[in-house]
Structures are given as structure tokens and as C-alpha cells.
Amino acid sequence: MIRLIDVYKEYDNGTKALKGVNLRIDDGEFVFLVGPSGSGKSTIIKLITGEVYPTDGRMMVNGFSPDNMRTNQIPLMRRTLGVIFQDFRLIEKKTVWENLSFVMRAVGCSGRETRRRIPYVLKLVGLEGKENHFPNELSGGEQQRVAIARALVNNPSMIIADEPTGNLDPQRSYEIMDLLKRINELGTTVLVVTHERDLVDRFGKRVVAIEDGKIISDETGGYYNG
């Protein structure tokens, strides 16, 4: 569960990215976050992942409160989140399998757990048989599936995606969004930042619109009107 209460964020250079944001996302929800460029969408994502801290306000992320917790809690908070980026951020010199096993090792999973979990996740994202491929041997859509598999592999309670379809054609974008929807249906909370009006309209989920650092609308089954 995510709670942002009257959150302000001013960057070191004086840019006021968020100006009093209130947002609540409950477990199991699927939420689109939309808005024009520079409106503060990525800033909200970075606050949730603990990359930046709020200048003012209170927040809760899956039981952690990044505004006043010890830094050694941040890794534990991040283990409850799976993050996906527009540019995939796969490691080019590692195979699909290694890209996944390496983040499992990073949180202390054993080789046995790795061998059990990875095939399941690859099947879920539709990449069976691709485990020994390198990222540059895959299409953009497939690479983003690997990134989604990586986000899922440590079994987070929430997936956060910052423009996951920004580099993909409309058909691939739809497939990725559909995959995220299925993951949501399996019980994982999903927060997706996107610019793609068509997609948002097609899925009919909750849409939070932000403009100039403030939330201007928040409707379920809504349309992209940011």
C-alpha cells in the first residue's frame, strides 16, 4: 500500500517538482499515472523507490515510511517493489537467466530457489526457452518482458513501471500492458506511468492525472485527460 500525504519535493537546484501531492494506492489496485512532461510523474516513482526523499509531507510504502526511516531499511523496502524502466536496463553481457539470477542472489536467495523461481517467472511473461539468450538477441518487447520478469522474480507486492512502453510499437505496448494487467490479476499491485492515451482508455483502470506537481484528477475507469 502506498500513501502520500501532502508531499512536497524540491530538488537541490530549486525546482519544485511536487507541490502537495495526496495519493493512496491500496493493495491489489492497478493504477495509471498520467501527465505532461515535467509534471512530476517520475519524481513520485523515485519517492516510492527511495531514490529521493520528500522535502515535506508524510509517506508510507508497504509499511515503510521513507520520510523518517533508517537508511539500512531502504533495501528491505525495495524488496517489496519491482521496478521497470522505459530503457529496460538489462545487463548486456549477462544472459536472460543470469539477469534474473543475479538479482535473486543480490537479496540472498540460494541457487535452489533461483532454479525453482526463474522458469516459473519466464513462463509467466511468455519467454520460455529464451533463458540462454543475451538481451541484444531479443526484440524490444521481449527485452521489456525480461525486465518485467526481473521485477517479479523476488516476488514483490507491487510493480512500478515508469513509461514501460515508451520504446515499443503500439502492438508490443498493448501486449506489455496486458501482461501487467495479468500480473495484477494474480494479486500484485501495479502502478504504471505512461503517456499513451489509447492504452489508458482501452484498459479502463483507475487513472491519476498530475500536472505541474499537483494531482488534478483521479478517477476509476477514467480517461486520459492530463
Ligand X SMILES: Nc1ncnc2c1ncn2[C@@H]1O[C@H](COP(=O)(O)OP(=O)(O)OP(=O)(O)O)[C@@H](O)[C@H]1O
* Binding residues for ligand X (CB under 6 A): 11, 13, 15, 17, 35, 37-43
Angle made by CA atoms 128, 132, 134, in degrees to the nearest 5: 110
- Which one, 37 or 68, has the nearer CB to other proteins? 68
Q: Select from 132, 208, 139 the least CA-distant residue to 172.
A: 139
> Residue 42 Cβ, how far from Mg ion at the closest point, in Å?
3
> Residue 136 Cβ, how far from ligand X at the closest point, in Å?
25
Residue ranges in 85-104 that form contacts with other proteins under rule CB under 8 A: 89, 91, 102-103
Residue carrying C-alpha cell 518487447: 141
CA 129 – CA 225 distance, rounded (Å): 41
Residue 79: contacted member of ligand X, Mg ion, other proteins, none (CB under 5 to 8 Å, by partner type)? other proteins
Does residue 154 touch Mg ion according to CB under 5 A? no
CA 225 – CA 197 distance, rounded (Å): 8
CA 147 – CA 138 distance, rounded (Å): 12
> Residue 133 Cβ, how far from ligand X at the closest point, in Å?
30
Do 7 and 47 form a contact (C-beta atoms < 8 A)? yes
Residue 117 has a CB neighbour count (10 Å cut-off) of 19
CA-to-CA dists, residue 89 to 56, 79, 121, angstroms: 31, 18, 18
- Which one, 37 or 171, has the nearer CB to ligand X? 37
Residue ranges in 28-87 that form contacts with Mg ion under rule CB under 5 A: 42
9, 41, 78, 117: which one binds other proteins (CB under 8 A):
78
Residue ranges in 12-71 that form contacts with other proteins under rule CB under 8 A: 49-51, 71
Binding site for other proteins (CB under 8 A): 49-51, 71-72, 74-79, 81, 83, 89, 91, 102-103, 105-110, 150, 154
